[in-house]
Structure 1
């Protein structure tokens, strides 16, 4: 089956080409362990930015593994450049669309329409759906900032406990962030592992649904008993302003959100039904379903559907585009540096040594992928760093896997990257401060939620693995 995502190759040698190890296996493993430990220490204790930490760790790994300094730099920059050439474009397009959706009021329209039609019993389920829909095109931090006022206003209007509204919404948002492209972590893993984006997207949604249900509406009543806090006295004047603002319609906004998803899934289906067809319909679907094209079309459609629906002129739309790109510079650099680190692991032969060790063990590759990502997540606090580092370590394993299993490998890594958010995670502090929680209360609500998503996601991946 032809791969859905036509990104530039991330490997200096082709993925299936043998790599001559730069040093004995023991030295290579030692170099990898030291490199990862340095990254963890720099991010966690020194508080150095993950971009610089990954860069230093990658170059140190290369040198300790027997590469020359210039060779390590070349390997790192090759990986950085090829990653940015593929994943970076998608992240930029996703950021533009997310900003347009937020500023136009389209996200508000989705929220208000669904909440107004929900009963008290159905409200937590609706809030989980809202978190998932808004989380589909938006980065976690952007979606969180957007949804916090919604959570507070809905809790105040409905009279329900804050956690009963907040937990399902955050579950939908977090699950999409960790499991479903076009978020940076899943995209980077898809690119590094050579996964089929359409299959990964479809499997990601399947895995995310039970994870959201377990960590959201089912956990919310328990979280509300554990963390009984009042609704913060914020956004008291926002409701009237939000309802008076001109916004695109619900149908138009939902169509705009689902457009790239439908295009990419159509291409995945076409690749399965007619993988070698050169028919005109297949060529057209292949073109429209290419991730860059699908997201570009979503952005262009958003200019008209969302921009005009909100009454924006051309200058306002251009300003939104410009404003959306600045905040993602750090994310782009982290993802690029992760690609560089992965390339060093491959070019030194470390990845092959790890793959051989795993192949000779009885541990499931999916459980291993989850465990590696979870350990890095707990140590660094970053889901994105955990995803791209784990993908780099496990990339050599893909030579023996078919596309559905590679997609599941991506999702196992994504599930592990969400495990045990605690005090070294910026998201932990955002949740704490926004909702006025203590550290123990944040651990009993947000941290447990993340663990539930992570473990349920792994269970979903393992179940799917029985059928592919």
Structure 2
């Protein structure tokens, strides 16, 4: 009898992978209430985003009138596919980043660039350092790694920590929001079925001028509003003589750029090489994100590990210790995939897509606005990206390859808009820099806003010429 009742509900299509025929009068409240539950649990009750996303997905299905069995089916399907496609990449990225830090390779990049810069060019050099370090690392890891360098440079150059630090943070944040293989862009690429190589190329094109404007240019003004000296932290790191040998700058840069070059090679092969040719087959394989990052990690074990005089046990220990801190990130990203799949399978995503299609408004602008609203509410760039991608996924099916990649970037730009008190990054910057809340808003939060708006403008301009 129970099975017969379930079969009468408009949810059988959900289990079959198609959107059920649920009225808009139920779908809209379901989406709004699901997102509201997600926001309230994260912001008000400080519940972990993994649990909040899970409960939000269940709320969406319950309000939409979908059976809990089918909701769980959708959620676990989205969770599993996201963990498989993105979780592995996050783990490999964490291993690579840990080797880069433990070997002294990151310090070598920083010291080399800073050593060749004058006082006036230091902010630009710091922006370059932030972008390079941010390419393979998560924002939080890059932030902690760069803090001693930011303070040391500020003290030696007798400049405000804001003048030196904001450009580095802009480089880190832009890479985090716009350029794969970071979790946010990868999730959006997976959800929207975007071309990785095209998105990577567009992401770098947008990121460079965005970093210049939100970093060195904005820092000139922010340093006037918030003029603070470097805190007395990390005073002991005036010299690296006692830290052992480092891999050379050239070897380190070659290793850092290896996965990017491989992924770009795949994109070029898809455009220039014919199907079935040896070059296309090889580049399609080695340019796949999983293989590209795997090659980078294996290469780093030799170039960075051996270059720093690390033994096999030290390299193994570094790789092992990298996985614990990112377990939570993988769970959040996978749960975001589950939440996204619930939105898609109930038909909410298609409803929004149909509304956007008939609204006459720019799809890219709306994608940015959706990400901005979720970012402001939850404080999480990753949650904003995965949720906005899930809502907009049905719309991407009818768009060109370039437009889908630009939508990924529009969502990424929106996901970093105005970091405030519900964002962990806000408190990291405040505490490390020794700022008050108001000072953090006038420097860090406004920098994130400039970065977000500039990214959107450049995406819209790029859309006019591609």
Q: Same fold (TM over 0.5)?
A: yes
Does 1:430 find its partner at 2:433?
no
Does 1:453 find its partner at 2:451?
yes
Do 1:63 and 1:69's aligned partners in 2 also have CA atoms closer than 8 Å? Answer: yes
Does 1:168 find its partner at 2:167?
yes
Map 1:183-202 → 2, pairs under 5 A: 183-202=182-201
Do 1:140 and 1:173's aligned partners in 2 also have CA atoms closer than 8 Å? Answer: yes
Do 1:22 and 1:66's aligned partners in 2 also have CA atoms closer than 8 Å? Answer: no
Question: How many angstroms apart in 2 are the aligned matches of 1:13 and 1:300?
Answer: 44
Do 2:13 and 2:19's aligned partners in 1 also have CA atoms closer than 8 Å? Answer: no
Q: 1:228 to 1:79 in 2, by over 3 A?
A: same
Where structure 2 has 5 or more consecutive residues not aligned to the other structure, the ranges are 1-11
1:21 deviation in Å?
2.7
Question: How many angstroms apart in 2 are the aligned matches of 1:30 and 1:19?
Answer: 20
1:74 deviation in Å?
0.8
Does 1:63 find its partner at 2:62?
yes
Question: How many angstroms apart in 1 are the aligned matches of 2:42 and 2:19?
Answer: 31
Do 1:374 and 1:386's aligned partners in 2 also have CA atoms closer than 8 Å? Answer: yes
Aligned position for 2:298: 300
Does 1:39 find its partner at 2:17?
no
1:159 deviation in Å?
1.5
Q: 1:363 to 1:243 in 2, by over 3 A?
A: farther
Do 1:22 and 1:65's aligned partners in 2 also have CA atoms closer than 8 Å? Answer: no
Q: Give the secondary-structure state (helix, strand or coil) at the position aligned to 2:211.
A: helix
Map 1:412-431 → 2, pairs under 5 A: 412-431=410-429
Aligned position for 2:234: 235
1:75 deviation in Å?
0.7
Aligned position for 1:116: 115
Do 1:21 and 1:350's aligned partners in 2 also have CA atoms closer than 8 Å? Answer: no
Question: How many angstroms apart in 2 are the aligned matches of 1:264 and 1:397?
Answer: 26
Per-residue displacement from partner, 1:102-152 (whole Å, max 9, x unpaired)? 110000000000100001111110100000000000000000000000000
Do 1:90 and 1:182's aligned partners in 2 also have CA atoms closer than 8 Å? Answer: yes
Aligned position for 1:262: 261
Aligned position for 2:210: 211
Aligned position for 1:311: 309
1:245 deviation in Å?
2.8
Aligned position for 2:219: 220
Do 1:22 and 1:67's aligned partners in 2 also have CA atoms closer than 8 Å? Answer: no
Q: Pick from 376, 379, 384: which aligns with 1:381?
A: 379
Question: How many angstroms apart in 1 are the aligned matches of 2:379 and 2:451?
Answer: 16
Do 1:94 and 1:137's aligned partners in 2 also have CA atoms closer than 8 Å? Answer: yes
Do 2:19 and 2:344's aligned partners in 1 also have CA atoms closer than 8 Å? Answer: no
TM-score (norm 1): 0.95
Per-residue displacement from partner, 1:301-350 (whole Å, max 9, x unpaired)? 00000000111111111111111001011110111011101111111111
Does 1:251 find its partner at 2:250?
yes
1:230 deviation in Å?
1.4
Question: How many angstroms apart in 1 are the aligned matches of 2:101 and 2:252?
Answer: 11
> Which deviates further from its counterpart, 157-166 or 263-272?
157-166
Question: How many angstroms apart in 2 are the aligned matches of 1:466 and 1:297?
Answer: 36
Q: 1:108 to 1:37 in 2, by over 3 A?
A: same
Structure 1 residue ranges, 4+ long, deviating more than 6 angstroms after superposition: none
Q: Give the secondary-structure state (helix, strand or coil) at the position aligned to 1:299.
A: helix
Aligned position for 2:5: none
Aligned position for 2:363: 365
Aligned position for 1:5: none
Aligned position for 1:94: 93
Aligned position for 1:6: none
Do 1:223 and 1:444's aligned partners in 2 also have CA atoms closer than 8 Å? Answer: yes
Cα RMSD (Å): 1.5
Do 2:159 and 2:229's aligned partners in 1 also have CA atoms closer than 8 Å? Answer: no
1:241 deviation in Å?
3.4
TM-score (norm 2): 0.95
Question: How many angstroms apart in 1 are the aligned matches of 2:19 and 2:92?
Answer: 38
Question: How many angstroms apart in 1 are the aligned matches of 2:431 and 2:410?
Answer: 30
Map 1:70-89 → 2, pairs under 5 A: 70-89=69-88
Question: How many angstroms apart in 2 are the aligned matches of 1:18 and 1:375?
Answer: 29
Aligned position for 1:410: 408
Do 1:264 and 1:294's aligned partners in 2 also have CA atoms closer than 8 Å? Answer: yes
How many residues align? The count is 454
